[in-house]
Amino acid sequence: MRLPSDVMPISYTLDEDRRRLLIDWSDGHASEHAYEALRRGCPCAWCAGEGGQRGSVDAETRFTEQQTTLYEVQVVGRYGLTPVWGDGHHTGIYTYERLRATCQCDECRTPRGERG
Ligand SMILES: [Zn+2]
Ligand SMILES: [Zn+2]
């Protein structure tokens, strides 16, 4: 699914209690992203690898609480955002398209066959 170029986040909420990033989008959707899943999916070269090099993060990686605590989000141009984590890690750029594809709200999970 390609995201129309005029669809972008209009606001961010860091839900400290549920440890989730909540994003309100210009098309009316409200997406949810668990901190840990977001951190595990970090697309930076160090975490995800690059050019055939294995990254340092995979499905088995155990994170500290600090590493999965979202400190803030920084907007990157008009296409994505960078989460700043409690341990200072901030090199992953999550495109809007990627964020929408990994949204964990019920509405998005059901068609993907995921269950909570
Ligand atoms: Zn990373
Ligand atoms: Zn959703």
Taking only the tens place, the pLDDT of each residue in 14-33 is 999 999 999 999 999 999 99
Amino acid at 32: E
Determine the distance separating the centroid of ligand 1 and the alpha carbon of 51, expressed in angstroms. Answer: 15
Domain count, the chain: 1
CA-angle at 92, arms to 50 and 107, nearest 5°: 110
Domain assignment present for 99: yes
pLDDT for position 115: 64
- The answer to whether position 59 is within a domain reads yes
pTM (2 decimals)? 0.90
Asked if residue 1 is part of any domain, the answer here is no
Q: Quick check: is 25 in a domain?
A: yes
CATH number at residue 45: 3.30.2020.30
Residue 93 CA to residue 52 CA, distance in Å, equals 19
pLDDT tens-digit map of 29-72: 999 999 999 999 999 999 999 999 999 999 999 999 999 999 99
- Scanning the chain, the segments in alpha helix (DSSP H) are 35-40, 45-48, 96-101, 106-109
pLDDT for position 6: 86
* Long-range contacts at 21-28 (CB < 8 A, ≥ 24 apart): 21/70, 21/73, 21/83, 23/99, 25/100
Mean local confidence (pLDDT), 68-78: 95
82 Cα: distance to centroid of ligand 1 (angstroms): 10
In a domain, 3, yes or no: no
Domain hosting 94: range is 9-109
Identify residues whose C-beta is under 5 A from ligand 1, the ion.
42, 44, 47, 92
